[in-house]
Amino acid sequence: MIALGSAAMFSASQAVSQPADDHPCVQEVCIGDGLDKLRAIDWQTVAYTSERVNRIRKEDRARRAKVFPGFGTDGVPSYLIVGEFDRELIGSMASVTAACAPNGLRGTFISEGGHKTIVTVSLLPTSMPERMIWRVTSISRLYSGMERPSERGELNQALNAKYARFINRQPGESGVLIAPLGKETVLTLHWVDVDRDRKFGSHPRCEKPKKVVL
């Protein structure tokens, strides 16, 4: 990653956009965003070869495939098995409308400031069992190349000030974790909601547990 001088560090800290009312953001994307917002980002291309799919253990492939029902004899698309997406696949993801367990697809891009950013988007339950929606549930950004302690301190101070109200939030609310790791800092925006996740499996295409006959 690129090294950051004092002026560049100030610029990088300003590049973190103001958080949204309910969810935190980086400049390009927010927690809670849908697929339409992701189309404008220059995602790194992912190779979905049969060799890559086969490197995943058979048991894991079967488990991941079972999460997304409704594909019939055509089989679950390989990107759902690999668990990654890029710009070319966002349109295909929109056609996936059912998930029976917690899930996530990861996409990677480099920010304007040169910071590697990994975004996880998940197909989530709603108040209506037959309707699920894709939403961003995690954003992780790596700030590296900071040789001087003053640079690292300035960045960490700016991040803590920017995201202060999203730190130590209540369960079910999206939050922020800022982790200084030596010469690097990892900024993680996350959205974990246990009550929401309990609704997985309620979609009509999901297999219902069999009743025990006494």
Query: Which of 139, 97, 140, 105 lies closest to 122, judged by CA?
Result: 105
**What's the token pair of residue 91?**
């349109």
Confidence (pTM): 0.86
Cβ count near 162 (within 10 Å): 20
Distance CA 175, CA 185 (A): 17
DSSP state for residue 73 in the 8-state scheme = G
Average pLDDT value over all residues in the chain: 87
Distance CA 192, CA 137 (A): 7
Distance CA 69, CA 128 (A): 17
- pLDDT tens-digit readout, 63-73: 999 999 988 76
- pLDDT tens-digit readout, 49-87: 788 888 899 999 899 999 999 887 678 999 999 999 999
Task: Give a three-class secondary structure readout of 117-167.
Answer: EEEEEEEEECCCCCCEEEEEEEEEEEECCCCCHHHHHHHHHHHHHHCHHHC
Element (H, E) at 67: helix 58-67
Q: Residue 21's pLDDT is what?
A: 65
Element (H, E) at 59: helix 58-67
Cβ count near 75 (within 10 Å): 10
99 within 8 A of 200, measured Cβ to Cβ: yes
Which residues of the chain are modeled with pLDDT < 70? 1-21, 73, 209-214
The structural domains of the chain, with segments of one domain joined by +, span 6-197
- pLDDT tens-digit readout, 117-132: 999 999 999 999 999 9
DSSP state for residue 24 in the 8-state scheme = -
